[in-house]
Amino acid sequence: MYQLGLTELFEAMPFVAGLMVRIGEGGDVYSQPGWDYSSKIAVTGVDAVRAMLRALLYVAGTADKDLIFRTWSVGVGAVGDLHTNPESYDEVLGGIDDPHLIVSTKYTLGDFYSHLPFNGTLTAGAQRRIVEFQARREFEGFGALPNDLTGLHQQALRQFLAANPHVEGIWTWTQDGGPLRAGPMTLYLRTGFWQLYDLNAYTLGRLAQDPDVPAAQLTADWVRQTFSNDPATVAAVCEMFAMSREAVTKGLYIGAYADRSVRALGLEPPPMMWIFEWDIVTGDSAALDSIYAVTRDQGADPAGAGAVDAAVAEGSGRWNSPAACGPRSPRPTPPPGTTRCCGRSSSKPWSTRQTCSARSGRTGPWCCGTRSGSTPATAPPTTRGTRPRAATRPPAPRTSRGTAGTWICPRTTSPPPTWVPPAPTGTSRWRGWPGRCSWPSSRCWRWVR
């Protein structure tokens, strides 16, 4: 039946160059009332997969078309570890060396999570290979957070090219991932701030052309064509992206758990277990208990308290970047009587300025030399050097240039602009001015007379 269907496809649509097929992730979830198609997981064994491939390849070879087979089998039957186990890969695909067969595999040893090693099956086999990547990771903010994967993708691609001469291409998930309609409602190239993950789609295309171009250069090229050619802007945005991987891997993952290979009930749980998809913090006591047990067991003391505290501290906050707060100085002493820093214990690292902004509604204590919501008589030393930022601002004018002064961005190193474009009609917000900061974010604009 599949041979007849594939033959009909190639005859009716001669411009089609090939077909991509996979096994796994099917069943009743894809069989809904009113739909004119259904799904059933039927190919679950080694012999069944080999028979399917040979049947489809016969049709593809006759029509001189390609058949792309994805190894993302995700736990289906006897071939459930096809994606990650070189021995299973050889058992299923060994001897099937048809020139029309292309095997497509994710570059990570599992799904596209951080903290996972590269996929060893991409160095095995004699088949033509495609390496899969993802630009918008649903378990790392789903494109709502900066997440520059260029350097990581380059490292993986170069390693596979060096180890396997049969690697001949890549493809990337630019838009979707995870459950249907999960995450921020953005549509690539159309709605929402899709530019954050467009960076990864752009740089992957450039890496496919030349995998040896420095990753920082690729990011900078994208910033110039997307936002501005202004050197100060390019430097600031590139610095933000350069810090994004540390923010994601330490802020969203529990490192002591994520760096361990864990097996349970014959499965391999992913390194991200406490957040389900993009923003749902799990309340599953079994998952949280497992994370705690794995983390605790790495502690030096019998109770594991040291390891747990270290894991919490790793993601509890960090100093702002030099671009945001100027040259770093010794950590200032909080004002007398202060016991908490932006909702965190004073024994923890200082919070980032984002959590100390006036919009947070918190009234203390110190962050980046600024006290949220109030200005004390004597300010402590500040990481901004000699120019602490004002804790409050005058009401925003209806346009970004008014009679009382002008809004400028203190982060830029260039002279103040001689003009400021008007804010959108009827609003006191100005957003999206390429080359400058967006106001009224407390992280960017100050009022000058």
Tokens describing residue 206: 């450039």
Sign of CA pseudo-dihedral 166, 177, 142, 290: negative
**Which residues are registered as beta bridge partners of 170?**
131
Instruction: Note the pLDDT tens digit of each residue in 45-84.
Output: 999 999 999 999 999 999 999 999 999 987 677 898 899 9
Domain spanning 2-232, CATH architecture? Alpha-Beta Barrel (3.20)
Residue of higher predicted confidence among 295 and 318: 295
**Which residues are registered as beta bridge partners of 341?**
344
Reported as a pLDDT band with limits 50, 70 and 90, residue 202 is very high
| Alpha carbon 133 to chain centroid, angstroms | 11
Query: Looking at residue 399, what is its pLDDT?
Result: 35
**Which residues are registered as beta bridge partners of 439?**
430
Measured at the CA of 77, the angle between CA 76 and CA 81, to 5 degrees, comes to 65
Instruction: Note the pLDDT tens digit of each residue in 337-385.
Output: 543 333 333 333 333 333 333 333 333 333 333 333 333 333 334 333 3
Q: Do residues 105 and 131 touch, judged by C-beta distance below 8 A?
A: yes
Query: Looking at residue 300, what is its pLDDT?
Result: 56
Measured at the CA of 188, the angle between CA 184 and CA 193, to 5 degrees, comes to 55
Provide the whole-model pTM: 0.69
| Alpha carbon 366 to chain centroid, angstroms | 30
Residues carrying CATH 3.20.20.80, the chain: 2-232
Reported as a pLDDT band with limits 50, 70 and 90, residue 405 is very low
Q: Do residues 5 and 11 touch, judged by C-beta distance below 8 A?
A: no
**Which residues are registered as beta bridge partners of 408?**
446
Q: Do residues 166 and 126 touch, judged by C-beta distance below 8 A?
A: yes
pLDDT, the chain, mean: 74
Reported as a pLDDT band with limits 50, 70 and 90, residue 118 is very high
Query: Looking at residue 56, what is its pLDDT?
Result: 96
Q: How far apart are CA 414 and CA 305, in angstroms?
A: 49
Residue of higher predicted confidence among 192 and 439: 192
Reported as a pLDDT band with limits 50, 70 and 90, residue 222 is very high
Q: Do residues 150 and 200 touch, judged by C-beta distance below 8 A?
A: yes
Q: How far apart are CA 253 and CA 262, in angstroms?
A: 15
